[in-house]
Every structure is written in structure tokens, then in C-alpha cells.
Amino acid sequence: MRRWTHCVVHPKKEPAIDALDPSVTVADIGEFALIDRSVRGRVHPPSTLLGPGDDAAVVAAPDGRVVATTDMLMQDKHFRLDWSSPRDIGRKAIAQNGADIAAMGARCTGFLVALGCPSSLSVSVVDELNEGMWEEAVRAGAAVVGGDVVGSTQLVISITALGDLEGRRPVLRSGARPGDVVALRGDSGRSAAGLALLEAGDVRFPELILSHRVPQPHYESGPAAAIAGATSMADISDGLVADLTHIAEASGVDVDLDSEVLTPSDELNSAAESLGLDALQWILTGGEDHALVGTFPSTATLPDGWRRIGRVTGGGGSVTVEGRPVEGTPGWTSF
């Protein structure tokens, strides 16, 4: 595949840009210096045929089809600058989008990053955000290939992720069939626990708070699930029950979860006890873990790390635990 490396504005050998005094704002250096700081010294993988600097990027699509998704993060709705470092926010923004690519059974090939920045924002915050976004983009096997920077009243991060199916069929929400096994890759409930701890100002469970600040999707488990014959898949952004309900509705099936395998860890139980909250509720309805949930034919061998959590029955879009409906809202609601 031809790579127009000579068109990349900054040759990759150039060193990363120097740190600035935190009192220097984005208004002090302006849009183009800010973009310069975002792209300079970055090394792109071979899938980036043309990196930032021209009117658009060119990303390889060897499969001939491009998987595309976008999720945006608003200050004080999705993150708080007093709860998370800019680096962690950057990592989470990429993880949230990369998880949607993995949930289709695809591999990430590139991320486009659109930033809305208040004029008074310190350049060092944007530098750290970029560090986090790059760190996670590389973990996902891809790179930041372009973006946009505009002035805004609050910090806004809008990411578009691109992915490659490598010749496989996409794993849809609509493919679950009665008799399938429901399986989970990753943890559910830890991010919700971390959020509750931050809301309460309780710093006693740092690992749970870290899970909220920096969800770590198992990107490779999406393609592995597709190869193993997954019939449906989603990432858990709104909550296990909410996201499984999307699958159940799209597939025209019911899902019944097995309470035994959803037993909270000691850590989750201790955090819930100390806050007077319910750990099982975090597991069932807490969002933002970006774990993958999917359905597989009962004859399939689950890929590494996936564990069975329930089964698919015939029906019409409901999710139950041991046959009982889940009380309250099934997950996060934005409005």
C-alpha cells in the first residue's frame, strides 16, 4: 500500500514539543500553534497513509469497508477536571470510541479528534489530553489521524473512530438467537462504583476510581469474538442491562442472566457497603466499563477471557436475572 509520508506535516523524527508554563492559555498561542503541538513528533502506524496536515487524512481500508463510529464527551457531563487528569480524560475518550469499533468485531485503524476549548484553557491541559489520547490510540493499535480545534464555552471532546473488519462480517446487535450463550469480556460495575466514590469524595478504593477514570477495553476480544462466531455484540457504555436490552430488542429475543456469575467482588461489596449502595445494581446498570457483551452459539468455544453470564431465549426484548425483571432504570440516561 502506498504511503504518502512526505505529505505528513511533521517528520516523525522531530522531538515531542516542549512543556509550557501552565499559565499559558490556548488563546495565548492560537489555533495553529495548538494544532502544531497536537501533531508534532507523532509516529503513525502503516495504516495511516496520510496523517494530519492536509484537508483530510487517508487511512488504509484493506477490507474495502470502513467501520465508523462517533461518541462525544462534554465537560461536567462525561468528565470533571477536578475528578480526572486531562491525560486520563484523553484515554477514556479514545477508549469509549475504540470499544464501539471492537464491539463490531473490527480493529481500530484511526481516530479523528475534534476539540472545543475555552480561550482560558491552559495549553498544558491540551498537551496532556493529547498524550492520553495517543497512549490509548496506540493501545488500540491505531493513531490519531486528524481532527479539529474550535473555541467553546466548555471543554468538549468529540471523537470519530474508524475500523477494519479484515474480511469478516460485522457482528450486529440483531443477530442473537434463542439457545445462544450470553458472555462478557471485562468487568461490569467497577466504573459505576468509581463514579459513586468520586461523587461521595471517598478515596478509599483507588482501583475502582481508576476503573472509572480510565476504562480499559479488551480491543482484541472483539475480533476474537467475531472469529469464534459471536452472533451479536455491544460494548457496555450505558449499563449491562441497558446494552443487553438493545441486543434483545434488535434481535427479537429475551436474555436471562445468571445471578451466580454476576456475584460482586469483595472490593465492590466493600465499596458498596461503605457508601450504603448496592453492588449488584452497579454490575447490572452501571455504565462506562466498556466491557464487551455478546452472544455465541451454544456449540461455540468462548475466546480467551470471555465468560458465560446467561442465555438467550425466545421472546421480545426483555432482560431478566434468573427470570426476574431488573428493578429501576436499566442504565444511564443522558437527559
Which positions make up the binding site for substrate? 78, 288, 332
The pattern of x and - marking residues 65 through 94 that bind Mg ion according to CB under 5 A reads: ------x-----------------------
C-alpha–C-alpha distance, residues 134 and 142, integer Å = 9
The residue among 211 and 237 lying less far from ligand ADP, judged by its C-beta, is 237
Residue 33 has φ and ψ, to the nearest 5°, of: -70, -35
The pattern of x and - marking residues 250 through 289 that bind Mg ion according to CB under 5 A reads: ----------------------------------------
Using the rule CB under 6 A, which residue among 86, 88, 100, 288 binds ligand ADP? Answer: 100
C-alpha cell at 77: 457531563
The residue among 25 and 97 lying less far from Mg ion, judged by its C-beta, is 97
Annotated binding site for Mg(2+): 55, 69-71, 100, 148, 235, 238
The residue among 301 and 334 lying less far from ligand TPP, judged by its C-beta, is 334
Q: Is the dihedral of CA 253, 256, 262, 268 positive or negative?
A: positive
Read off the DSSP letter of residue 44.
P
C-alpha–C-alpha distance, residues 104 and 169, integer Å = 9
Using the rule CB under 6 A, which residue among 35, 79, 188, 193 binds ligand TPP? Answer: 79
- For position 88 contacting ligand TPP by CB under 6 A, the verdict is no
Q: Please, what is the minimum distance in Å from the beta carbon of residue 234 to Mg ion?
A: 5
Using the rule CB under 5 A, which residue among 235, 238, 254, 288 binds Mg ion? Answer: 235
- For position 191 contacting ligand ADP by CB under 6 A, the verdict is no
How many CA atoms does the CB half-sphere of 182 hold within 13 Å? 28
Spell out where 26-170 has E strands.
Answer: 48-50, 58-59, 67-74, 107-117, 144-151, 156-164
76 binds, among Mg ion, ligand ADP, ligand TPP, none (CB under 5 to 8 A by kind): ligand TPP
C-alpha cell at 325: 425483571
List, in order, residues 6 or more apart from 193 with CB less than 8 Å away: 205, 208, 211, 212, 268, 271, 272, 279, 282, 286
Smallest Cα–Cα separation from 133: which of 13, 32, 52? 52
The pattern of x and - marking residues 237 through 276 that bind ligand TPP according to CB under 6 A reads: xx--------------------------------------
**Contact between residue 256 and residue 311 where contact means Cβ atoms under 8 Å apart:** yes
Using the rule CB under 6 A, which residue among 71, 202, 249, 278 binds ligand ADP? Answer: 71
The residue among 180 and 235 lying less far from Mg ion, judged by its C-beta, is 235
> For ligand ADP, which residue has the nearest CB?
237
C-alpha–C-alpha distance, residues 197 and 265, integer Å = 16
C-alpha–C-alpha distance, residues 45 and 138, integer Å = 9
Whole-number Cα distances in Å, 102 to 81, 117, 233, 282: 28, 29, 9, 23
How many CA atoms does the CB half-sphere of 123 hold within 13 Å? 21
Write out the binding residues for ligand TPP, residues 89-128 only, by CB under 6 A.
Answer: 96
How many CA atoms does the CB half-sphere of 85 hold within 13 Å? 12
The residue among 237 and 285 lying less far from ligand ADP, judged by its C-beta, is 237
Residue 13 has φ and ψ, to the nearest 5°, of: -80, -15
Annotated binding site for ATP: 147-148, 173, 237
Q: Please, what is the minimum distance in Å from the beta carbon of residue 71 to Mg ion?
A: 4
Residues that bind ligand TPP (CB under 6 A): 71, 76, 78-80, 96, 195, 237-238, 287-288, 332, 334
Residues that bind Mg ion (CB under 5 A): 71, 100, 235, 237
